[in-house]
Structure 1
Amino acid sequence: MFHLYKDRIVLLLYCGFIFYLSHQPTLPMPMLFEHQDKIIHMTAYAIMGLLVWRVFVYKFKVKLWLALFSVLFCSLYGVSDEYHQSFIDGRDADVWDWFADTIGAGLMVLVLSRVEYKL
């Protein structure tokens, strides 16, 4: 039972970390190639997809509903994150970033839904 609370705390902290990064005017990250930021978005939201899956894996009896919920959660958080960035000097909202967020979460959830997931 403790691991459920731990997983919730980890998800909450991770969402807070993304919020913190989004609140920065710039991020000290060298651009090594074009669209590198989309890969970073996909990776960050794939991790979020895993965390959401872990929190809600026992709440859903049907894996499809868990998968849809996990992707929807991440996608909506991505939308709110882009909206939040629209108010930060030096940042802007980008629909392609949101798309990368959703794709990253979707890919992770696809993998999780295809394997027998054990904690």
Structure 2
Amino acid sequence: MIKIFSWAAVIFWMAIIFYLSHEPASSSDELSIGISDVMVTIVEKVVPGTEVNMDEFHHIVRKCAHFLAYLILGLLLTHTLRRSGTGRWTIGIALIICVLYASSDELHQLFVPGRSAEVRDVLIDSVGACVGIILDLLIWKGKQRYKS
């Protein structure tokens, strides 16, 4: 039963990534600009007098979103594959799936109004997935040490 929930979480997260990628550029920009505005407001309250270049900050927020989305996917996928008994192939399979999904996601964006496909985004997504996979590996090894 836990395997089913694990796979459901992976599929749900992939669906969220797909949904966000399917948003036209104008909707996607509104979302990330809203997040950027909230973050800048917080920074200005914490460090008064801070000047922020909104275009650069907005760009960084968008790229961090790519990284974080695939970090979570890498974590979920590695955890699920381990539970599914992939053994020593878990990390490789997780990485391949994440990179293929990132690539297909960018290709999908070619068909969304105002969006484009960028190799740079696939690289950012892949690095995020690698970090997620490593985090899951560290958590799993920590649990193994704690058990013994």
In which range does the TM-score fall when normalised by the shorter chain? 0.7 to 0.9
Structure 1: give runs of 5+ residues left out of the alignment: none
Matched, 1:36 2:61: yes
The 2-side partners of 1:20 and 1:35 are apart by 21
Residues matched between the structures, number: 115
Amino acid at match of 1:55: T
Matched, 1:51 2:54: no
Provide the alpha-carbon RMSD of the alignment.
1.6
Matched, 1:76 2:100: yes
Structure 2 residue aligned with 1:60: 86
Matched residue of 1:92: which SS?
Answer: coil
Matched residue of 2:23: which SS?
Answer: coil
Matched, 1:105 2:129: yes
Amino acid at match of 1:60: T
Deviations 1:6-52 (A, max 9, x none): 11111111111111111110312115514322211111000000111
- Percent identity, please: 30
Deviations 1:72-115 (A, max 9, x none): 11110000000000111111001111100000001121232244
More helix by share: 2
Structure 2: give runs of 5+ residues left out of the alignment: 37-53, 144-148
TM-score normalised by structure 2 residue count: 0.71
TM-score normalised by structure 1 residue count: 0.87
